[in-house]
A and B are shown apart, each in its own frame.
Chain A
Amino acid sequence: MDDYAIGVLTNIGLFSFVALSAYLLLIAGEMSFGQQAFFGVGAYAGGILTALYGWPLPVAAFAAMGLGALAQLLVALPTLRLRGLYFAMATLAAAEMARILFELLHWRRKVDGELAGPDGTQGFRGIRWIFEHGIEPLHYLGIVGVLLALVLALLLVVERSKLGATLRGVGEDPELAASVGVDVQRVKLAVAAAAGALAALGGVLYAHHNTYIEPRNFDIMLGVHSLAYALIGGLGTAFGPLLGVLLDIGVLESTRIFQGYRMIVFGGLVAVVLIYRPRGVLDERIVQWLRQRFS
């Protein structure tokens, strides 16, 4: 497999984490414009831990996920009772605040005799754990793939379980769910923590793949794109967001058919598909139909 294909597949994998993070919140009934902030938290936290304090990547990744979950809870708690556009705007405000905080973050430390670490708008270079441990791009793609597969497996199990049904119930009709005894707030907070951890996992993997991150990487475009991928891929299954990412980055971008027009084509495609399938290609109806067909 050539370098280009490895790079594209890795990017697809990385983006899928953020798309899945947006997807989780969507099925809980909320639209978040801010998942890019938690992607960024994961990236910066993971990078700082490995590059400045020599932590091993797996441990740093766990810590980053924890921090991502915490950060998302920090945003979710004050906004629990907000719905619709109010909630979306609150997440947008929080994400932009996070990005500005990244611009103000200077955490410099001497490593091997040189100053390293995040330097505000100059970015954070030298996140080289992958290189220092001789991990080839293909191996890294494997790592990303395995982690994504694990996440998908977990989500699919949850979906088939009572927890999944509760989650979708809360998303569709919170009043009804509350009336049958569901603690809506607790469910929403749990989803928030999971979404934050997922986005952060993507972030730490991205930081190490790129070796360099800067605040601009975590701007609104990333967040709204992941939202779009989640919705167009379909809210019926965790494969939906993956489909959305694949459609844009995999098919349209890499096949170069629409070189230079890709966003025009993809944007139009999203708008048109949503007219006929407002919950995406793999929406609940078609997933139900597929399950009945193959069971």
Chain B
Amino acid sequence: MNPPEDRQSIDERDPIDTQLHEQNAYINDDGFTQHVIAALPLRRRMWLRPALLLGSVAIGWVLAVLWLPWKNLPPLSVSAVLSLNSQVLTPWVLVLTVAASLVWAIVAAIQWDD
């Protein structure tokens, strides 16, 4: 906040500013701080959810690497894509879906906010 003004600058101030300033009376705490402190969550737990999400992502990566038929994937070519050959495209769509969901989970864990 700005430093306190001297008397002259207060006198020269816009009357609306002066009125608003005068209205800015101190509000007594009356247990407000105690209320806030009693409601504080443990900060350690705030790492729990993104950590769990990242752990799940790691497990997901391992399962994807182990279970997806990487060696049996049909070769992907422009003609196969253009022909919309489901036998070629379906496994690749599956791979892309898994990869996209894992990337999304990583981004969500990194950007975790409350």
Asked if A pairs with B, the answer is no
A residues with CB within 8 A of B: none
B residues with CB within 8 A of A: none
